[in-house]
Structure 1
Amino acid sequence: MIRAPLSLLVILQAGVSAASLVVEIVAGRMLAPYVGMSLYTWTAIIAVVLAGFSAGHWWGGRIAEHPAPGALRRTGWALIAAALTTGAAVALLRLVADPVLALSGHPVAGITALAAAVFFLPSLFAGIPAPVLAQIAVSESDRSGPALGAMFAAGAIGAIAGTLLAGFVFIAWLGSTLTLAVVTVFYVGSAALCFWMGRVRPGAGSTLAGAAAVALAATGLARAAVCDTESQYYCIRTVDIAADAARPVNLMVLDHLAHGISARDAPLVMFTEYTAMLDRIARGRMEGREFSSFFIGGGSYSVPRAWAARAAGPITVAEIDPAVTRTAARDFWFDPESARILHADARRALREDPARYDVIVGDAFTDIAVPAHLVTREFFELVRERMTPGGVYLMNVVDFEHRLDALAAIVATLRAVFPSVEIWTEATPPAPGERRVFVLAAGAAPSAFSAFTVPAPAPTRFAVLSDAFLDNLLRETGAGVLTDDYSPIDRLVGHDASPEG
C-alpha cells in the first residue's frame, strides 16, 4: 500500500514542474555575466532544458513500470539528484565557464556547451517524476481519464507559476543563488514526500545526499556574488578602474558588456569612443545653441551627465531598468534631478510622449546588438516624428570589420526614412577581425563638419565615411530594410568574437 491520494500527487507534480521552470529562468540570469543575454543564450537554454526534460521523461517512464512503492523510492532518489545538481550549479558554472568557452570553436557553441554542462542534469532529474506520478495517479484512481488530465494540468499550471515567480519575484527579490537554494531545499522536501508516499524509510544515504545538496547550495550563497545588483533586467556591476584612488573612475558592466565609464572629477570627459562621438556630433550639429535631447538607454548616464554639466538644455532619458538609474546615481555621480527619467521601454516612451526633441540618442543594447524593435523602419519613422526640424538622430552601432552586415542593414533602414545618413568612426584603418564602434547620424541634412579630434580619453580623431563607402557597403552586403515583421539583428551581428567587459 502507498499513501498517494490524487490531490497530493497533483500538488507534487505542480511543485516539481514549477521548480524546474524556475531553474530554467534563473539559468538565463546566471549565464548572462559570462555570455550575455541574447537570442542565442535563450535558444541554448531552452533547448538544453527541453532535452533534459525529454530524457528525464523517458527515464521516468521506465521507472513507472515498477510497482508503486519501488517507483516512488526511485523517484525520491531522482529528486535528491535534482537537488544535488541544482545546488551545485553556482559553483559548477564558475568552475567550468572559462574552460568551456575557451575550448569552444564558436561562441554560439560555447553558449550551448556551457548551458548543457550546468543545466542539463538538473532538468533531466526534474523530468523523471512526471510520468511516475501520472502512472500512479491513473492506477490508483477509479477514473483514470480525469486523473491523467489533472496531472497534465498540474504540470502546465506549475510551469506557468514557476515562470512567473522566477521572472517577477524570485530573481528580483532573492537573487539567482538564493533562488536556486530555495529550489534545492524544495527538491529535498519533495524527495522525502516521495519516500513517505511509498512507505519507504529514508536511509542514511538519502539523508546524507539531501544534506549535501543543501550544503552545496549554501556554499554558493557564501561565495562572493557575481553581480552587485540583480535587477529584473540585468546583472549590474560597478568596477573601480581608477589609477589614482583619490580620483575615482568607475566602469558599469551590465551582464557581461561594458556600458559606460565616468570619472567623478571629470564629468565632461568621455572615456569611450562612442560617447565621445555622440557628445561631439550632437553639440557640433546644434552649433552651440541650447537643445533638447532624448536618450534611448541610460547606462552609466555619462553623456546626460556631461550635458547637464554644460547646461546644454532639457534632457529626457528612457531607461527601462530603474536599478541601472540607481546605480548611475550611486556610483557614477549622475544627478537624477538633472533630467526627466522615464523607466520604460524607449519605443513605448516615444510613442506615448508627443514632445519633440532636437537630438535623439540611441544607445540601448542587449548583449552586443541593439534590441530588434529599436532598429526597424517603423521605429525610425517614430523617431523622425519626434524630432524637431533640423534635429538629428544619433545611434551607437557595433559590428565586425569583416562583416558589417548589421551596420549595412541599419544604414539601409535609416536611409528609407531620413534624407541624410552618415557613418562616423575612428579615423584609423581597422585591424583584421576588429569589433568596430560606429555612430550613425540621421537627419534632414548632413553635418557641416567631416572630422574632429576629442579626448576619448586620449585625443582621438573621428571622421565621417564617404557616401561612396556607404553605397558600396549596401551593394556588397545586399542589405535590406529591417521591419517590425523581420529584424534579424542578432544573426546580422553574429558572434565572431566575444564582447569585452
Structure 2
Amino acid sequence: MARATIVITGAAILCLQLIASRIMTPFFGVSLLIWTGILSVTLSCLALGYYYGGVFCRGRSAGELRGAFYLGPALSGAWLVAAVLLYPVCLGPLAEMSLVGGAFLASVLLLAVPLVLLSALNPLLVALERPLHGEADAGAGRVFFISTVGSVAGVLVAAFGLIPYLSGRHSILLIAAILCLLGAVGGRGGRVLAVALGGLAAALALGLLDPAGRSGRTARDGENRPWTTIATYPSAFGVLKVVEVGEGAGMLRVLFNDGLAQNGFHADGRPALQFTHFLEAGAIHLVPSPRKILVLGLGAGVIPAAFEARGAAVEVVEINRRAFEAARDHFNYRPGPGTRLVFADARTQVRRCGPDHDIVFVDLFSGDGIPEHLLTREFFADVRRCLAKGGVVAINSFLDAAHMEPTRAVLATLADVFGRVAFVEQAHPPSRPITNGFLFAAREPGRLDHLAAMRVEATDRISPHMAEQMAASLKSLRIVDAASPLVAGAPTLSDDDNPLAALAASAQMAYRRGAVSTVPDPILAD
C-alpha cells in the first residue's frame, strides 16, 4: 500500500504541475518568464519536501511515521479543494499586480502545499522500509525509482487523460479525491481518516455541483456589459471558450483560446475582428480570382467559408480538432465539398503541399503568439514552395509598438525568403499600442506594389465603420526588404538559431496584461 501510494503521489505531482500551468495560462500567459516562475516554485517545493521529510523522520516511531505518511496525501487533497475555491478570485488580482511576480505567487497558491507534503513522502517511506532492507541505501534507490515511474505516468495521464477532456477545476478535484482516498484507506482511523473523508466529500460535492464545467457563467466587465460563457472545449492545445459579450443588437459572439480572442461575430452574423477582413481583402486584391487556397489555422472558420463561397478549392490545416467543433457548433462553419480539412501541425503539412496554391493564409496562434517553429526561414521557405506562380501569402501577427523586436525579426526572416514583404499596422489609438500586424509576401515580389492601390469599401460583410478602420490601417503600408531601416540589425530566425522566445517575452506579457484587464476573471478561470 505504501509503495502504491508513492507511485500515485509521484503521478499527482507531475499532473498538478501541468494542470496548474493550464489554469494559469489565461491569466499569466506562456512566456519564458512565466514558465521560469512555475518551474522555480515547483523545484523549490520539491527540495523543501525532501529536506523536511528527512528531518521529520529523526527519532520518530514507526507508528508516527506511518500516520504522517498517510496524512500527507489527505492534507494535500484538502488543500487542493480549498485552492479550487481560491484561485478563480485570486489569479486575476495577482496578474494585474505583476505577471511575473503574480505567476510566482499563483504557483505557490496552487502547488506549494501539495508538492511539499507529497515529496516528503519519499524520505518517510525510506525510513519505514529501513528495518526491512539490509542495503546500504536503506531502500532509498527503490523508493525514488518507483516515485519517478509514477511521475512519468502522471505526465501521460495529464496529457492524454485529463487536459484534453476535463476543465482544470475538475482535474484538480479528481486528483484531490484520489489523494484523500489514499489517506482514508491507508490511515485507517483517527485524524488522518477525518481529514481524508472530509476532503473527499468536499471534492465530490464541488465536482457534482458543477458537472458541466464553467459554461453558462456570466460576469460583467468595467463597462457593465454581461460576458456569458456559453460553451467550453478543453483540449490539448488550450481551453477554447465561446463567449457572448453584451446583449441585443450590440452583442458579440467571440471564440477565445486561453483567454485571447481568436475571432468573433456581430449579432447580424458579420465577422467582428479586422484581421480577417484585411487579410481577405488584401489577398483578393493581389490575386483577384484564386482557384486554390491553403488556410493554416481555422479560428472560427471565417476565411475558409469566405473563399469557399467564391468557388475556390480550400484546404484548412488545424492542429486542434476541438477548434473545428467550436466553429461548427457556434459560428455556423460548415465545410462544403470543396473544402479539405486536415488535422495536423502546419509545419508538417506545408512540407507536403505542391506548388499550386494561389493564396496561403497563416493565422497560427498558441498562448501569447505564433509558435516559434512557425516563424523560421525554413518554415517560410516551405510556404513559398506551396505557392503557384503569382501566389501570395497573408499572415496575421501580434504587434506591440513599444516592443518591436519580434516583429522586426519576423520581417527580416520573411524578406530573406521572399525578397520583399508588405507590412501593415492595424490602426489603433495611441493609448493601446498592442494590436495586429498584417504581413503579405509573394512568389513574385513586385506584385506587392499593387497593395498601395487597394480600395476598401463597405459590403454586406464589411460595415462602413469597419471599412473606415481598414482604410486607416492601409495608410501604414510599408514595403520592407533586407536593406530597409526597419529590419537593420534584426536577426533572421532559423531552426538552428531562433531567439524569438527572448525577443517576444516583453511583448507577450504586455499583450497578456491587456487581456487580463479586459476580460472578466470568471471568463478566464478554467
TM-score (norm: length of structure 1) = 0.88
The one-letter amino acid of 2:450's match is A
CA distance in 1, matches of 2:368, 2:119: 34
Which of 448, 451, 454 is the aligned partner of 1:449?
451
In structure 2, what is the equivalent of residue 421 of structure 1?
421
Q: Indicate yes or no: 2:256 matched with 1:253.
A: yes
Match of 2:203 in 1: 217
Residue of structure 1 equivalent to 2:277: 276
CA distance in 1, matches of 2:486, 2:71: 60
Q: Match of 2:418, SS?
A: coil
Of 466, 470, 474, the residue aligned with 1:458 is 466
- How far residue 402 of structure 1 moved from its aligned partner, in angstroms, is 1.7
**1:57 partner amino acid:** Y
The reply to whether residue 178 of structure 1 matches residue 170 of structure 2 is yes
Q: Which amino acid aligns with 1:50?
A: L
Q: In 1, Cα distance between the equivalents of 2:479 and 2:365?
A: 27
Counterpart among 49, 58, 71 of residue 56 in structure 1: 49
Deviation at 1:220, TM superposition (A): 4.0
Q: Tell me how far apart the structure 2 counterparts of residues 99 and 60 of structure 1 sit (CA, whole Å).
A: 33
Alignment of 1:27-426 (within 5 A): 27-65=20-58, 66-104=60-98, 107-145=99-137, 147-195=139-187, 202-203=189-190, 205-218=191-204, 220-221=206-207, 222-223=209-210, 225-226=213-214, 228-241=232-245, 243-244=247-248, 249-263=252-266, 265-266=268-269, 269-287=270-288, 289-311=289-311, 313-337=312-336, 339-354=339-354, 356-426=356-426
Whether the 8 Å contact between 1:56 and 1:127 is mirrored in structure 2 is yes
Note the C-alpha offset of 1:156.
1.2
How big is the shift at 1:347?
A: 0.7
**Does the Cα contact within 8 Å between 1:402 and 1:433 map onto a contact in 2?**
no
AA aligned to 1:207 is L
Corresponding residue SS for 1:416: helix
Q: Distance in 2 between matches of 1:142 and 1:434?
A: 67
User: Is the contact between residue 370 and residue 397 of structure 2 (CA under 8 Å) also seen in structure 1?
Assistant: yes
Relative to 1, partners in 2 of residues 1:111 and 1:232: Cα closer, same or farther, differing over 3 Å?
A: same
Q: Contact 2:181 / 2:197 at 8 angstroms: preserved in 1?
A: no
Question: Could you tell me which amino acid in structure 2 is paired with residue 436 of structure 1?
Answer: T
Q: Distance in 1 between matches of 2:110 and 2:146?
A: 27
CA distances 1:429-468 after superposition (whole Å, capped 9, x unpaired): 7515610211111112214131543547633213253347
Superposed counterparts of 1:431-446, under 5 Å? 431-432=430-431, 434-443=433-442, 444-445=444-445, 446=448
Query: Mean alpha-carbon deviation: is it higher for 319-328 or for 479-488?
Result: 479-488
Greater Cα offset, 77-86 or 429-438: 429-438
Structure 2 CA distance, aligned partners of 1:77 and 1:407? 52
Contact residue 137 and residue 144 of structure 1 kept, 8 A: no
Q: Indicate how the Cα distance of structure 1 residues 315 and 242 shifts in structure 2: closer, same or farther if over 3 A, else same.
A: farther
Name the amino acid aligned to 1:271: A
- Secondary structure, counterpart of 1:496 in structure 2: helix
Once the two structures are TM-superposed, the CA of residue 31 in structure 1 deviates from its matched residue by: 1.6
CA distance in 1, matches of 2:35, 2:324: 26
Query: Who is 2:6 aligned against?
Result: 13
Match of 2:228 in 1: none
CA RMSD of aligned residues (A): 2.5
- Distance in 1 between the 2:349 and 2:15 partners? 31
Identical positions, percent:
23
CA distance in 1, matches of 2:137, 2:193: 36
Contact 2:295 2:362 in 1 (8 A): yes
SS in 2 for 1:341: strand
Q: Conserved in 2, the CA contact under 8 Å of 1:45 and 1:115? A: yes
2:499 alignment counterpart? 488
Cα displacement (A) at 1:145: 4.7
Determine helix, strand or coil for the equivalent of 1:449: helix
**Higher deviation after alignment, 30-39 or 90-99:** 30-39
Alignment partners' CA distance in 2, 1:307 and 1:248 = 26
Per the alignment, residue 199 of structure 1 pairs with none
Native 8 Å contact 2:413 2:492 kept in 1: yes
Match of 1:3 in 2: none
What is the distance in 2 between the residues matched to 1:295 and 1:468? Answer: 24
Structure 1 residue 78: Cα displacement: 2.2
Relative to 1, partners in 2 of residues 1:146 and 1:138: Cα closer, same or farther, differing over 3 Å? Answer: closer
Return closer, same or farther for 1:248/1:293 CA change in 2, 3 Å cut-off: farther
Which amino acid counterpart does residue 301 of structure 1 have in structure 2? G
8 Å CA contact 1:37–1:255 kept in 2: the answer is no
Q: Secondary structure at the match of 1:458?
A: helix
Separation in 1, partners of 2:141, 2:155: 21
Distance (Å, rounded) in 2 between the aligned partners of 1:342 and 1:146: 54
The equivalent residue for 1:479 is: 490
Change in 2 beyond 3 A, CA 1:170/1:24: same
Q: Which amino acid aligns with 1:449?
A: L
Distance 1:76 1:96, change over 3 A: same
Asked if the contact 1:17/1:162 (under 8 Å) is kept, the reply is yes
Runs in 1 of length 4+ with deviation above 6 angstroms? none
TM value normalised by structure 2: 0.84
Deviation at 1:226? 3.5
Structure 2 unpaired stretches of 5+: 216-231, 520-526
Shift of 1:52: 1.5
Aligned to 1:173, what secondary structure does the other structure show? Answer: coil
Q: Aligned equivalents of 1:438 and 1:408: distance in 2? A: 11
Label 1:400 to 1:219 Cα distance change in 2 as closer, same or farther (>3 A): farther
Q: Residue 370 of structure 1: CA displacement? A: 0.5
